[in-house]
Structure 1
Amino acid sequence: MTGNIVARRYAKALFSLGQKKGPAELAAYGSDLAKLAEVLAAEPTVLKVFRNPTFGSDKIKAVAVAIMAKLGVGQVVKNFVMLLADKERLANLPEIQTVYAKLQDEAQGVLRGKLTTAIALDKNRQEQLKASLEKKSDRKLVLDYGVDPAIIGGLVLKIGDQVLDASLRAQLQMLKENIKRGE
């Protein structure tokens, strides 16, 4: 819980700075954070180093500087990471990146979700569904596509904590419940 609060505070601070500088900087900060979070996800030992209190601040900063140099991270994000290192919050970087990405999506009016179907859809059909959903929601959608044969037919759309289950499995389940109740 504490990590989540910390992540929100730092992400909001960087996001606020990015908004003042403009949309290009806002996107650049998000991209830099995403690259850093990707490295930490791929190399969990680096995250363990950041969490380990026996390593000194200088060693942790040296590791962070080396990673950022390889990734070509911008100066503002470098300064931000050094601030996190000074405050011993560098281990919160993946959560900070997640919160920052959500803030960025909200500012741009983007909804992220997952569309699951019983069979794989070709690219043309995926684009048609996406365009139809964007038109109905008046928002830009970024969808991950999945296949789950257990839904039998139809689709399941999950955006945030909302789920639209228009699958044949769900309809059969409702029919089963109605028969049990005698309706």
Structure 2
Amino acid sequence: MTSNIVARRYARALFTLGKRTSLQELENNAAALESIRTAVAASPDLAQVFRSPIFSVGDKTAIIKALAKKLKFGGTILNFCLLLAEKKRLSSIEGIAEEYNGLLDAEKGVMRGQLLTAVTLDEEHKKALVAKLEKQAKRTLLLNFGVSPEILGGVVLKVGDQVMDASLRAQLSILKDTIKRGE
């Protein structure tokens, strides 16, 4: 079983459990998972402990309890992490957090993505562009803006698995292919 499948299954289980309570519980769980993911990313030693079969379940449980105290989470997330330790799945915590955030975004009707432009946009243009895209998608969009001079002009929008390439570079490439084929 690949780690993506494991992460997806555990994230769905935790999400289903939180959904029985409230949206606030779902958001609290997401915040706790994100704080754990940040701690693991910031500490290679902690990541190594979570991955290593050398450390016993008892050792990992003690570390999780100390982490819970430090990061101030408990209840469902603490029990969830203890279950992950018991099932030897702590190494999947980062993937679980990512999958969980995706489920929460879908529940709230939010889509996350990245918008690349050839030049830096000012805040007014960013807001106008997001508003127009939200109107077309009929969903709330949270976009990270980036600059990529290689696209020459236009935009490249990446949302989930989908990429909309409305860049000048892509248009020139299409034109070049059309000319080569003699159409």
TM-score class, shorter-chain normalisation, is: over 0.9
Q: How do 1:148-167 residues align onto structure 2 when only pairs under 5 Å count?
A: 148-167=148-167
Unaligned runs of 5+ in 2: none
> Deviations for 1:76-100, whole angstroms, at most 9, x for unmatched residues?
1011111111111111111111111
- C-alpha change, 1:151 and 1:44, in structure 2 (3 Å) is same
Which position in structure 2 is the counterpart of 1:27?
A: 27
Q: How do 1:87-106 residues align onto structure 2 when only pairs under 5 Å count?
A: 87-106=87-106
1:44 shift after superposition: 2.3
1:74 shift after superposition: 3.1
Which position in structure 2 is the counterpart of 1:174?
A: 174
In 2, Cα distance between equivalents of 1:18 and 1:170: 44
Q: TM-score, normalised by structure 1?
A: 0.95
Unaligned runs of 5+ in 1: none
Asked if 1:69 corresponds to 2:69, the answer is yes
In 1, Cα distance between equivalents of 2:74 and 2:28: 8
In 1, Cα distance between equivalents of 2:56 and 2:7: 22
> Deviations for 1:144-176, whole angstroms, at most 9, x for unmatched residues?
111000111110001111111111111111111
Which position in structure 2 is the counterpart of 1:44?
A: 44
Tell me how large the CA RMSD over aligned residues is: 1.1
Which position in structure 2 is the counterpart of 1:114?
A: 114
> Deviations for 1:92-134, whole angstroms, at most 9, x for unmatched residues?
1111111111111111111111100001111221111001100
SS in 1 for 2:178: helix
1:2 shift after superposition: 2.4
Spell out structure 1 runs of 4+ moving beyond 2 A.
none
In 2, Cα distance between equivalents of 1:113 and 1:22: 26
Identity of aligned residues (%): 48
In 2, Cα distance between equivalents of 1:162 and 1:54: 41
SS in 2 for 1:9: helix
Asked if 1:132 corresponds to 2:122, the answer is no
In 2, Cα distance between equivalents of 1:8 and 1:140: 23
1:143 shift after superposition: 0.6
In 1, Cα distance between equivalents of 2:86 and 2:9: 16
Q: TM-score, normalised by structure 2?
A: 0.95
- 1:140 is aligned with what amino acid? T
Q: Alignment length, in residue pairs?
A: 183
Which position in structure 2 is the counterpart of 1:2?
A: 2
In 2, Cα distance between equivalents of 1:172 and 1:132: 25
In 1, Cα distance between equivalents of 2:142 and 2:159: 10
SS in 2 for 1:146: strand
